[in-house]
Structure 1
Amino acid sequence: MADAVAAIMPVLESLSARLESIEAKLGAAKAPEAEPAAAAPAPAASAAPVAGDARGALFAQLGSIDQSSGRTAGLRHVTKDMKSGGATGPVPAAAAASSAAPKPKPKFGASAKPKTKPPGTCEKRGMRWTVQNYTKADGVITVEGVAIREEVFIADCDDATIVIPDKCKAIAVDGCKKLALVFEGAVSSCEIVNCKRVKMQCKNFVPTVSIDKTDGIIVYLSEEGRKTQIVSSKSSEMNASFPNPTDPDGDMIEVPIPEQFISTITPEGKIHIEVSDLYA
């Protein structure tokens, strides 16, 4: 504290010199003789005693400091609650407003309502039948009157059962889920594309069953249907079910359709493909 007082003393001495200069200027001021009313500035002389009293009080307070011991009996002690870090008073309104929880931002692009599925339809245009948008609530849908030269296209059905009792030229199924398809037979093929969890049954014979981009399908074939060729690509969880050749009246056999293959290059520069041992 003694160092602090020593640092303040030059400032106080400078202040004292300025006060003396002001007093000298005030004392040297003379009232104009032309007008008696000019005597009014006389009270300014009282500023010197006031300034002198203030200066004397300041030096008296500084003089009360015990510089030898470093104790400051004449100065106020700064307590913890007077410091900004230890303030325990009420939080100012501005600070309270800034610390308030931020308002949630409005969400743009609210979730759209689920699209309403159009009603199921079954109609014929030219040589093609279109069956689409049927669900489980529609029950079993039977496509009657299909000729052997006509095609049947089935699309966007969900958990529906479609029955084609007559033999047709070809059948194509696209974008269906949990579909159960039963048909008498087809002249050329039955194609299953972009579907999930399909069960397909041919009661008579179809030369080719094509499966593309489909996950989960069971192909039920008749005794004659064991001659059917099954072509698959980019599909998984495929199975074929057919009558047991040694016991036609017994339980049907269900085998997985291979998804994994081993390719090797032959000495002749050709690719030799074998089914993985997983299906042995």
Structure 2
Amino acid sequence: MTFIEWVQDTVHNVNEDGWDGAKDSVEQLRIGAFRRLDWLSNGVHIYEHDWDLLIVLDGCRYDLMEEVVEEYNFLESIERFNSVGSSSSEWLRRNFTEDYRDEIEHTIHVTGNPNSKQDLLVREFSVLDEVWEYEWDDDLGTIYPDAITDRAIALHREHSPERMLVHYMQPHHPFIENPIGEGFGESDPWSCLQKGDVQRETVWQKYRQNLKYVLNHLPLLLRNVDAEKVIITADHGNLLGEYGLYGHPAKVAVSELRTVPWCKTTVEDTGEYEPTLVPSHDQAADVAERRLADLGYR
């Protein structure tokens, strides 16, 4: 965007939304400035590391995981990992490329993230199960972790893959147990925070609670697959006002977005759980757009 275009957009935003419109324009200016520095980032591709099972917690900051790691025995260690993206779409496009086709073809990919429809440019996985297509909760506006776990266990037992990637949507909003936004006319907590309708510590506390929600569901998966080298990580983090920015804009190379947890563990299948979910992919053409809108992307 040129400076003249930015000025024109700013005038339009102010006419439409007053002071809130002006703040939106300033935020876009800041994002543009950070994107000019994106080439300096040195994110690491996930396939540059050795793992059998990679569990991705969508939108989990390193310091958020650091606050709760001691509460979970299966999180044996925590390290910092520099992600290749600051948004899910960017993470998908930069990790799953032609350079890693051989690894991709030997990976089962189970995902609850609707960005996979448009941003997985190399899709030749051993199995690609886009669970968000058929197990989305329309009232909640996201997918529960149990559906992802069920399909991951079923596919792991059926195929005994060289690699499996399991992508959960939490702690990404909507916050399941205590949502933010309904009382403020907003669809996401970052907008509420930006407009001053809610305090930062309130958003952080509910963000942490949503992380613990998914971590509390992980033992079911970890007790029902065999994997020696398990990594629990994230695709990106979130900004809560740092640098005057909110959420997770793409191509913004700051630590709050790019530094994610890298937790190691080992798991063994006890056979205690029998999957029951039957996948169904007969969905309307606009299903991905509607799912992304629920998550605040549209």
TM-score tier after normalising by the smaller chain length: under 0.3
Is the helix fraction higher in 1 or 2? 2
TM-score, length basis structure 2? 0.20
Greater relative contact order (Cα < 8 A, sep 6+):
2
More strand by share: 1
